[in-house]
Structures are given as C-alpha cells and as structure tokens.
Amino acid sequence: MNSVPAYQAVVIGASSGGLHALKKMLPAIPRDFPCPILIVQHISPVSENYLTVILDKVSQINIKEADEKEPILAGTAYVAPPDYHLLVEADKTLSFSVEDKVNYSRPSIDVLFQTAADAYNEHLVGILLTGANADGSEGMSYIKKRGGFTIVQDPADAESPVMPKTAIMQQEPDMILTLDGIIEQLLKPGFIFPEKKSHQ
C-alpha cells in the first residue's frame, strides 16, 4: 500500500559559488521528482531574473521565480526573487517580505528555512551549499528542531566553505556530502522517491 511520503519539500540555500553548484545539481533532478524545491541563492538586489532563466534552460524540472501567494507544487523549483525574502505559509503557499536584511541578505536563507520548517515540520529536507557568510545556520538548526532532515555540502567540496562550515559548527547535520553525494542522496529510492517497486 501507498504510505504518506516521508518528505514533502526540499529547501536549498546557497551563496557565493551557488550558481555553479545549482547548475550542476538541478539538471540531475528528474522530471518526476516527487517534491517541490524552494531555493534561496544570494543575489544582487538589482539583478534581473537571469538565474532562473539559466537554471530552467538546463533542467528537466520546471524552474521559476517564485510568485506571491503561489501554491507550491511538486516537480517545480521556486527561486526567491532578488531583494525579497521568500516565506512559506502553513497552507503551502509562498509569500514575500521586504523587511530588513537578515545576515546582510535579502533574500535570506534563514527566513525561507524557518518558515518552511514551520509549514512542513518533519517532512522537510534542508540542503545548505557553498557560501561565504553565516546565513542558513539558524535555519538548518530550526529544521532539525522541527524534525526535518538536514544535509550540508562538505566544506572541502564547496567553492566557498564558510557557510557550510558555520552550519556544521552550530548543529551537526544528518549528512555532510559532496555535491555529487547530495545528488545521489536525492535520487536514492526510499528517501524522496518511494522504495523501488518489485517487478510487476
């Protein structure tokens, strides 16, 4: 029988070096990926939506800039727009805020991770990638507190090790993996995907 999937959403936070990492990671996600993906990549406030355009071009799943009050759907990756914090509401829709920068960042990874953890509780996977600042650490701890699963990119594998290192020091993640390892984990049957069915 079908059981409730363990995880209902994946959040990804990245800063310096993140574009390379995301360009490697997102194209590896198959079209039938059963979860939505929510992404904060630190980006200049005046940048156009080129990040989304580039990633969408190379990916099988649909990648788009998040819209206000948009319902969160599987098979789609939502990217926080420049200069807005991205938040998840309890009814699994997206909302924005332009309140002060958090960790010198807007969008902030902590803001997305904390609100997503409140909405998804233990059904959330948090992934923190390369970066040169401390954003995301609080958010990762909060995901843990709510019972979710956390993966930090191996600082030795990251283009900028500070952000993953800071998160690991604050709270031991469930897994520390290279980028390739993270991709492998996301595709592993029994994690996000259901266990492989026996041959029919």
Partner 1 sequence: MIVTSIQNPDLDDDSLVENVELELLLQAVYLKYGYDFREYSRAHIKRRVLHYIANKRLPNISSLQHELLIEKKCFDELLQELSINVTEMFRGPGFYKSIREKVAGLLKTYPYIKIWHAGCSTGEEVYSMAILLKEEGLYDRTQIYATDFNPRVVKSAREATFPLKYIKEYTSNYQKSGGQESFSDYYRATNSSVIFDRSLTKNMVFAEHNLVTDRVFAEVNMIISRNVLIYFNRHLQNKVLSLFDESLSTGGFLGLGNKETISFSDIAPKYKIIDAREKIYKKSHE
Q: Which residues are known catalytic residues?
A: 15, 42, 135
Report, in Å, the least distance between residue 196 CB and partner 1.
26
Q: Please, what is the minimum distance in Å from the beta carbon of residue 84 to partner 1?
A: 6
- Tokens 């990762």 identify what position? 140
Q: CA-to-CA distance for 172 and 140, rounded, in angstroms?
A: 9
Contact (CB, 8 A) for 186 and 29: yes
| The 175-177 sheet, strands edge to edge | 62-65, 76-79, 37-41, 9-14, 124-128, 149-153, 175-177
Residue among 134, 168, 128 nearest 151 (CA):
128
CB of 9 to partner 1, least distance (A): 12
d(CA 114, CA 129): 17
Q: Dmax of the chain from CA atoms?
A: 55
- Closer to partner 1 at the Cβ: 111 or 177? 111
The β-bridge relationship of strands 85-88 and 94-97 is: antiparallel
Please identify, using beta-carbon distances, which residue of 42 and 123 lies nearer to partner 1: 123
Residue closer to partner 1, measured from CB, 87 or 129? 87
The length of the chain, given as a count of residues? 200
Query: Distance between CA atoms of 3 and 86, rounded to whole angstroms?
Result: 30
What does the binding site for partner 1 look like in residue numbers (CB under 8 A)?
A: 67-69, 81, 84, 87-91, 95-100, 111, 114-115, 118-123, 146-147
Tell me the closest approach of the beta carbon of residue 10 to partner 1, in angstroms: 16
Q: Which is nearer to partner 1, 118 or 174 (CB)?
A: 118
